Amino acid sequence: MLRKITIGARSSTLAKLQAYTVGKKLKDLNPELEIVYKFREASGDKDLKSPLWQIAGKGIFTKDLQDDLLNNQVDAIVHSWKDLDLEKRKGTSVISVLPREDQRDVLLFKKSAWENPPKELKFCTSSPRREFNLQKFFSEYLPEPLSKSNLSFSPIRGNIQTRIRKFLETDSHGLIVAKAALDRLLSSDTITEDVLEFAEIRNFIRESLNQCLFMVLPLSLNPNAPAQGALCVEVRKNEEPIQNLFAKLTDSKAKKTSETERDILSQFGGGCHQKIGVAVLIRPYGEIRFLQGETDHKKNLSEKEILPKPNLIFSEDEVWPYKAKMAQRQRERIGYGIPPNTDLFIARGYAFPTDLTVNPETQIVWASGLTTWKELAKKAVWVHGSVDGLGESEDLKIDILLGRKSKFAKLSHQDSDRSQSVYPLIPTYYLSAPEIPSDFNPEKIKAAFWRSGSEFNIITSRYPILKNIIHFVGPGSTYQKIKYTLGESAIDRIHVCLSFEGWTQNHITKQNK
C-alpha cells in the first residue's frame, strides 16, 4: 500500500489550489496517505510578453513538470486539462479527476464603460478563439448603444489576478476569462494550505468584481477550449498503484465530455492558435455539441446538435405547426408586480415590459435563449447570461460569482405552465391560442414541434388525436411537461431539438412549388 506520494503543479495560486483540491479528495479516500506538494514555474509563466498562440503547443505550461515526473521527482501532476496539448503522451498517462467546473467564459465589463459608453470598446484576451467568436457576438448581444461601438481586442498574459490587475489599470473596457478559474479562486475557503495567500487573492478578485458587470457567455456561440473547467492528473505509465489511486477520483461525465472535445478539435489540428471552440454537454435526453469558429483554411464552422439524431423526415403538410410555419399568437399587456430585490428570468423578449427598468449592478437578468437575449439587448438591457435554450432547469452556476444567493422570478405569459416552472411566475402579458389554418387536417399530421406547454395543451385538447403522433420539443420545461402528460409509454415518440429552425432543417422536406 502506498504511504506517501508527491504531487506536482505550476506555482500559480490557481494551480496550487487545484492541486490541493485533488490532494484533499485523495486524502478523504485514503486517510493514512501522506501527500507532499512540489510547485514550480513553467516556462509559459515566465514569458508574459509573447502572444500565447505563438508559443503554445510547445509544452510551455507542462514540459517542465513532465520532466520532473519522468525523472521521478514527483509521482503525479495536477493539470488544468485544457493546458495539455492534443498529442499522445510518451511515458505517461492522463487520468480525469473530479467533476468538471463551469466550462463557459465570462466577460468582466467596467461599470464606468456601462455608465458612459465609449465609441470604441476594447477587450482583453489572448485567445484567437475568443476574439473570433466574440467579435460577432458582442456586436449583436451587447445592449444598445454598446453594440453599436467599434470593437478591438488586445492580448493580455499572466495568471488570473495579474490579468485582472492589468485590465483594471488600462483603458480597456472588458476582460474575458474562464469562469471556472474565478469560481475556484472565489470558493477556496475549504482549502487549509496557504490560507493567507488564497484569502488575499479571493479578496482582490471580489473587490475587482465590484468594479465590473459580468456576462456569462453562451456556449452555443462561444464554445470553450477543449476540456476547459476540467482537471486531470498525469502519472507515469505502468505504475498501477498510483494510477488506481487517482482513478477513484474520476467523474465519468467530465471524462467523456473532455475527451470528446479534445477528439473533435484534434480533427482540425489543435493548438492555442486555433480559432475554434467546442463544447460537449451531457443531459438525460442526449449529448449536446456546439462547434464554432474558423479553421486554418478559413472555413467557417457553426454546428449545434443533439446526439443521437432521430432519422425522421416529414413533409410540410404532415406536421404541426402546419407547413412548418410558426403559428401566430396575439399578445396583450397585463398589469404586473415584481417584488424588490428580485432577479429576473425572461422567458420571451416580449415578457420584459417596456416600462420596466433594472439595475444590472444589483439585479440579475437571465434569458431563456439567444433570441430573447438579442431582443433584450435591443431594449438596452444588460443580460448577465442565458440558459442557451436548454431550459430553466439548467443550473445557472452564478452564486459564487455573484457573491450572494440568486433570487429569480420568471417573467412570462399568464397561462405559462406553473407546474413545470423552476421559478415563481410573474405574468406580464396575455397570450392567445395559436391560430389554426383553415386547411389544417389533424388526421394527416404525423409529427409536431411544440414551443411551449400551453401550446401543447391547447392544440391537443382541441385535437386529442395529436397526442399519439411523434413529438419534437426544445429542452426544458416543455419537454418535461409533455413527457409527464403522455407518460413513460410515449417516451420513444418524444425527441429533443435545440431550436425550431434546427427542427425544420433536419426533419422537414420542402414541397416543390
- The pLDDT score that the predictor gives to residue 39 is 96
| pLDDT of residue 250 exceeding 80 | yes
pLDDT of amino acid 197: 86
The overall average pLDDT reported for the chain is 93
A 10 A CB-CB count for 181 gives: 24
Could you tell me the CATH number of the domain that includes residue 9? 3.40.190.10
Q: Which of 18-32, 34-48, 70-84, 286-300 has the lowest mean pLDDT?
A: 34-48
Is 386 within the bounds of a domain?
Answer: yes
Is the pLDDT assigned to residue 59 strictly greater than 90? no
Residue in 203, 192, 123, 130 with CA at minimum distance from that of residue 161: 203
Whether residue 221 has pLDDT greater than 80:
yes
Q: What pLDDT shows up at residue 43?
A: 59
Residue 114 belongs to what H/E stretch? helix 111-115
Shared domain for 408 and 440, answered yes or no, is no
pLDDT of residue 292: 98
Q: What is the pLDDT of residues 456-492, one digit of tens each?
A: 999 999 999 999 999 999 998 889 999 999 999 999 9
Q: What's the whole-model pTM score? A: 0.94
Question: Coil, strand, or helix at residue 37?
Answer: strand
Do 149 and 92 reside in the same domain of the chain? no
pLDDT on residue 219: 98
pLDDT value of position 112: 97
> What cell was used for 120?
470604441
At 44, give phi and psi (nearest 5°): -70, -20
pLDDT at 44: 55
Listed in order, strand segments (DSSP E) in 207-299 are 212-216, 231-236, 275-283, 286-294
Is the distance from CB of 42 to CB of 147 less than 8 angstroms? no
Give the model's pLDDT for residue 513: 42
For residue 324, the enclosing domain spans 314-328+434-509
423 lies in a domain? Answer: yes
Residues 6+ apart with CB under 8 A from 316: 322, 323, 324, 508, 509, 510, 511
Q: Distance (Å, rounded) from C-alpha 424 to C-alpha 410? A: 6
Domain endpoint, select from 374, 407, 430: 430
| Average pLDDT estimate for 83-112 | 94
The C-alpha cell 468584481 sits at 209
| pLDDT, position 476 | 85
Last residue of a domain, one of 366, 398, 430: 430
Given 171, 189, 216, the domain boundary residue is 216
- Peptide bond connecting 145 to the previous residue in cis, omega within 30 degrees of 0: yes
Window from 184-198, 219-233, 235-249 with minimum mean pLDDT:
184-198
How many domains are there within the chain? 4
Each residue of 161-214: pLDDT tens digit? 999 999 999 999 999 999 999 999 999 666 777 778 899 999 999 999 999 999
- Identify the pLDDT of residue 189: 66
Query: Within this chain, do residues 18 and 92 fall inside the same structural domain, yes or no?
Result: yes
Dist CA 476 CA 395 (whole Å): 12
pLDDT in tens, 387-409: 999 999 999 999 999 999 999 99
